[in-house]
Structure 1
Amino acid sequence: MSSNVYTSDVTVDSADKAQLVESIRLREQRLAANVDELMGRVHPSALANRAAESAKSVLVADDGSVKSDRAALIGGVILSVAALVTFLAIRKSRA
């Protein structure tokens, strides 16, 4: 028996028991590796790292400089929301 038995080379009609056992073992190894890779992709720390990199790419260019137009836009939105919250709080306290 060959040490490299690939599932596509082994059919039930033409394989002996040892080849089928080896084929099943190799399939289990590939499935386990795929499950491990998927678990790594959906692990909370991996998701957090991808989200942080995505957020960073919004404000930082490839050369490391800050994208000033986007930074100004985000700063303006934050200031506008803060002003609105302050206005509503003052208005509510006077009523």
Structure 2
Amino acid sequence: MSSNVYTSDVTVDTATREQLVESIRLREQRLAANVDELVGRLHPKALAARAADSAKSLIIDESGSPRVERIAAVGGAVLAAAGVIGFLAFRGRRG
């Protein structure tokens, strides 16, 4: 194993104690900021907001008006699923 361990632009072989301490402190700050960002991205409220925005963008276009063709397609799919479920329920009662 090499004794030349890199911490940012400073190596253990050439750095002073103060440079290494500062390099470690800066690295800890960057890691803490990255962890905070990840926690924020994975927070349930953030996930729900992104999912809602994604779903809304499927139904509403950029100008804010509804996308009629997509609404009709979703409505048709819901009606078809209800019809299949109703048919299967009716068929199950008869048999």
TM (normalized to structure 2)? Answer: 0.85
Match of residue 30 from structure 1: 30
- Aligned identity (percent) is 62
Whole-Å separation in 1 of the counterparts to 2:17 and 2:92? 80
| 1:39, distance to aligned residue in structure 2 (A) | 1.3
1:63 aligns with 2:63: yes
Runs of 4+ in 1 over 6 A off after TM superposition: none
For structure 2, the residue ranges without an aligned partner over 5 or more in a row are 1-6
Q: Work out the CA distance in 1 between the residues paired with 2:89 and 2:15.
A: 78
Q: Which runs of 5+ in 1 are unaligned?
A: 1-6
**Structure 2 counterpart of 1:52:** 52
What corresponds to 1:75 in structure 2? 75
Q: Is 2:37 the counterpart of 1:15?
A: no
More strand by share: 2
Aligned residues: 89
Q: TM-score, normalised by structure 1?
A: 0.85
Shift of 1:8: 3.2
Q: Distance in 2 between matches of 1:23 and 1:84?
A: 65
